[in-house]
Amino acid sequence: MSIAVTTWSLEQTSPADLLPAAAPDGDVRVVRAEVPSAEFSRFLYCAVGGDIRWTDRLGWTYAQWQEELERPGVETWVAYDRGTPAGYVQLESQDDGVVEILYFGLIPAFRGRRIGGHLLSYGVARAWDLADRRPGRAPTKRVWLHTCSKDGEHAMDNYLRRGFKLFDTKVEEEPDVTTPGPWPGAQVG
């Protein structure tokens, strides 16, 4: 069985394009995960993407996770709500001053608390100043990402409200997989 999946590609071409969200109430902090940890990254990936069918990295080995995290220009920024991981954004510096937001999202229990707009704003700002942390890299000229019809219901609206502009749309058939969840049988709600 397969499903039609629409993928939208969006971009910003200037730091002035970023329209930051207000910081949420409470003790929400965004911190860079500076020590590459395959275990922690896989946890974030499964916890954020489990109910929205993120499956592309589920089969990765420990070595593949570690190799991904150790690549120059890859950064993971994690939102914490009162000390508990709430979501993350993973950035990848590419050629010619381009930075891709590879992954972004919140753990289901933290959705709807105004953390997502703040985390996305923070992550995009870090994409724009990534060259400042990577001597020898070209300054960022473009930040881009893609989202799809499998992602959370508010994802596209969040990207548009942060100043991203649509530049491509594709529809492809994909196998319909059972939602993997952060652990077998996990369901939210």
DSSP codes, 62-130? HHHHHHHHHSTTEEEEEEEETTEEEEEEEEEE-GGGEEEEEEEEE-GGGTTSSHHHHHHHHHHHHHHTH
What CA–CA distances, in Å, run from 151 to 50, 54, 125?
A: 10, 8, 22
**102-128: per-residue pLDDT in tens?**
999 999 999 999 999 999 999 999 999
pLDDT at 189 over 50: no
pLDDT at 188 over 50: no
The pLDDT score that the predictor gives to residue 56 is 85
Band (53; pLDDT cuts 50, 70, 90)? confident
How far apart, in whole angstroms, are the C-alpha atoms of residue 63 and residue 68?
A: 9
Which residues have a Cβ under 8 Å from the Cβ of 88 and sit 6 or more positions away?
33, 44, 48, 76, 77, 78, 79, 103, 104, 105, 119
What CA–CA distances, in Å, run from 147 to 25, 35, 49, 86?
A: 27, 27, 12, 19
Domains and CATH numbers, the chain: 2-175 (3.40.630.30)
The pLDDT score that the predictor gives to residue 140 is 97
Closest CA to 130 of 160, 105, 159, 100: 100
Cβ-contact 115, 87 below 8 angstroms: yes
The pLDDT score that the predictor gives to residue 183 is 52
**Tokens at 21, concatenated:** 């969200």
The pLDDT score that the predictor gives to residue 62 is 93
Cβ-contact 114, 95 below 8 angstroms: no
pTM assigned to the model: 0.91
The pLDDT score that the predictor gives to residue 179 is 56
The pLDDT score that the predictor gives to residue 181 is 56
Band (75; pLDDT cuts 50, 70, 90)? very high
The pLDDT score that the predictor gives to residue 58 is 85
